Chain A
């Protein structure tokens, strides 16, 4: 019984793990948009909006593009149950169109390397343990620890051009930035209650559902709330404001602003399809996007469950009445 119970759990966990979507969406200096669907990297042309595949057969959750329009990503794979090991390499699609390996195929997960970089090429990543750390690696290869502490779960990081790092910890949003008076970094909490509570079985597999994180030119922070299917903006007052709500089939995982101030969102469907969608500057300003149709499966299923209980009860009553009549008939 225990095995069966636990097997069903693993089945569900594998289902939710399969739904672990990517956040890689970047733009180059011309305004072309690149995004990952976890199998290929696609480019949306700034000229005519046409979509083309630029890197095939790679599994990357993140992307980075430098100021010379060189695109970086990884390829992560599992070596099967017999070996139970993972492998990876990092690649770079140069602005000339040449695809080269930045890190050769290596066992295990990517370490001491990241696609979260500032304009100077410094890399930043999170080491998630009982005591979590946020690390920095300079272009010269010097690794330093920026902050350390017993945090709750730290989500994805994002880095602005001026090296400010934004990240979520459970339902809090933090900013990590270089202290102008010293060499150290300072952390400030920008918002205390950004997440909405969900279950451990949700797409996030945790109690709070903030996912991809990005900023606009004015340094407002945007968060994709993956289970509640919305995008929130955290302004300078720390208050979350819903600026986009998607329908029940698609959920926003990440986003970016293009050179014209339009927001591009990376969306994942319930069947694990991926698309990039443009939300125009005008739609964002007019708040049109928050009034999209939204279903409430919870309420609907509760109503159906009540109806099911009534029907089953009536069916049972009918069967018992028939049995009663049969008994009475036999008695007579």
Chain B
């Protein structure tokens, strides 16, 4: 259940950053734009989550412990785990979308990874406290 919640929370946070940034980037952001960004970030993040994030989380949980998780988890998930996504965004820029859309995608995925990392660091801290008691 927590995996599903962390996935949805991270994706929605990414979408929120895209939506908020779009207020200053575009004169209008229609339903088609919103649906396009929502579907692409959802599909992209779901694939990353299943193929990369879960494995990376398992490894990171073993290797990094304590309060260090609050620093390293967001860095690992927003930068390292997202590398294939950033590569694909950069590779398809110009063919499938412009630089403005690529920037929004990058910001969205960066936020997804950051929130995902923070969420699991927070969850581990709470559970560790309880175990300590």
Contacts and interface: CB of A to CB of B under 8 A. Distances in A.
B127 A2 contact: no
A323 B5 CA distance: 15
Interface in B84-133: 84, 88, 92, 96-98, 100-101, 119, 123, 126-127, 130-131, 133
A209 B27 CA distance: 11
A331 interface: yes
A9 B96 contact: yes
B92 A6 contact: yes
B131 A199 contact: no
Given A200-B98, A328-B133, A8 B26 contact: no
B51 A320 contact: no
Contacts of B12: 305, 308-309, 312
Interface residues of A, number: 46
Contact of B31 (A13, A297, A327): A297
B28 A298 contact: yes
Place the interface of chain B in its size category.
35 or more
Given A301-B34, A319-B5, A198 B119 contact: no
Interface in B29-80: 29-34, 36-37, 39-40, 43-44, 47-48, 51
A327 B96 CA distance: 50
B111 to A, nearest CB: 11
Question: Taking chain B's interface residues, is the majority helix, strand, or loop, or is none over half, making it mixed?
Answer: helix
Given A305-B12, A327-B131, A319 B2 contact: yes
Contacts of A290: none
Interface string B5-20: 1101100110110011
Nearest to B37: A201
A1 interface: yes
A196 interface: yes
Nearest to B8: A312
B47 A201 contact: no
Contacts of B13: 309
A100 interface: no
B125 to A, nearest CB: 10
A315 interface: yes
A324 B130 contact: yes
B88 A2 contact: yes
B40 A9 contact: yes
B28 A198 contact: yes
A96 B2 CA distance: 72
Interface string A15-40: 11001000000000000000000000
Given A8-B44, A199-B22, A199-B29, 8 more contacts: A1-B51, A8-B43, A11-B39, A198-B28, A200-B96, A202-B30, A302-B20, A309-B13
6 contacts: A198-B30, A297-B31, A309-B12, A315-B5, A320-B126, A327-B127
Name the 7 nearest CB pairs between A and B, nearest first: A196-B27, A201-B36, A298-B29, A312-B9, A200-B97, A302-B19, A8-B43
